[in-house]
């Protein structure tokens, strides 16, 4: 094989895979699947697209080997194809947070409107007796992996379960990462009810990768 052919084949193969990242819907699906496997119906609901559209995006991701699937009865479950698939998305996400003004401005405006502009990082708030980490994702995502000693209360149940939370601790809510709104909703609700609450910037998988 000639050197030029070698380079052309290598970079063409990589470029072909990166096309899967060129759709906003597919990026959101990757971000969602990082928290646990989902059916196409669940993905459609959580990304606000049709089942047919979600299925098409999943096929692109599967063809690019970023997503894998398994069948259970009449359902097909999709998940990320290894931790490196998430790492690639995380690198792209973090680059956008660093360099893309539109992403920075949108995130800043949303956080201010939700009353959670002061997000914190895990390394600056290690677990101690004065802090409670609250996982506000769905219970199946909590079961798939969560921070040590975190308590699970899905955001949709939080208003009915406030009595389960201590008022003498700072509650740090977390969800699927910087673009997930569950933690912002939780902080807004908690503060409205007199709790000391902050938003954690990272997701469980962010921290798992960073500490490996």
When divided into structural domains, the chain yields a total of 2
- Where a domain ends, among 85, 104, 121? 85
Catalytic residues: 175
Digit-coded pLDDT (tens) for 32-45: 999 999 999 999 99
Average pLDDT, the chain: 92
In a domain, 96, yes or no: no
Three-state SS at 145: coil
Q: Which residues of 23-62 are buried (b: 16+ CB within 10 A; e: fewer)?
A: eebbbbbbbbbbbbbbbbebbbeebebeeeebbbbbebbe
pLDDT at position 119 is 80
pLDDT at position 121 is 87
* Residues 16 and 69 grouped into a single domain: yes
* Residues 77 and 24 grouped into a single domain: yes
* Residues 168 and 119 grouped into a single domain: yes
* Residues 58 and 20 grouped into a single domain: yes
pLDDT at position 127 is 62
Query: d(Cα 123, Cα 114) in Å, to the nearest integer?
Result: 24
| CATH label of the domain that carries residue 181 | 3.40.250.10
* Residues 131 and 174 grouped into a single domain: yes
In a domain, 14, yes or no: yes
Question: Quick one: average pLDDT of 164-172?
Answer: 95
Domain that holds residue 169: 113-210
Question: Quick one: average pLDDT of 110-120?
Answer: 82
| CATH label of the domain that carries residue 32 | 1.10.10.10
* Residues 44 and 80 grouped into a single domain: yes
pTM for this model (two decimals): 0.88
Question: Quick one: average pLDDT of 69-77?
Answer: 93
* Residues 117 and 204 grouped into a single domain: yes
Digit-coded pLDDT (tens) for 1-43: 899 999 999 999 999 999 999 999 999 999 999 999 999 999 9
In a domain, 167, yes or no: yes
pLDDT at position 1 is 84
* Residues 66 and 118 grouped into a single domain: no
pLDDT at position 212 is 60
């Amino acid at each position: 094989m000639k050197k030029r052919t070698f380079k052309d084949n290598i970079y063409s193969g990589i470029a072909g895979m990166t096309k899967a990242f060129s759709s906003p819907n597919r990026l959101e699906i990757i971000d969602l699947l990082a928290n646990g496997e989902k059916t196409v119906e669940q993905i459609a609901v959580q990304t606000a697209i049709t089942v047919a559209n979600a299925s098409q995006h999943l096929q692109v991701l599967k063809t690019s080997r970023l997503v894998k699937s398994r069948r259970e009865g009449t359902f097909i479950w999709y998940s990320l194809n290894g931790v490196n698939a998430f790492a690639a998305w995380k690198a792209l996400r973090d680059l956008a947070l660093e360099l893309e003004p539109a992403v920075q401005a949108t995130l800043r405006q949303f956080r201010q409107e939700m009353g959670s502009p002061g997000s914190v990082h895990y390394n600056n708030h290690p677990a101690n007796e004065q802090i409670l980490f609250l996982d506000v994702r769905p219970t199946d995502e909590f079961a798939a992996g969560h921070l040590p000693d975190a308590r699970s209360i899905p955001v949709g149940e939080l208003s009915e379960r406030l009595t389960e939370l201590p008022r003498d601790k700072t509650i740090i809510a977390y969800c699927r990462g910087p673009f997930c709104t569950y933690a912002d909703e939780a902080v807004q609700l908690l503060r409205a009810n007199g709790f000391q609450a902050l938003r954690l910037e990272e997701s469980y998988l962010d921290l798992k990768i960073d500490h490996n």
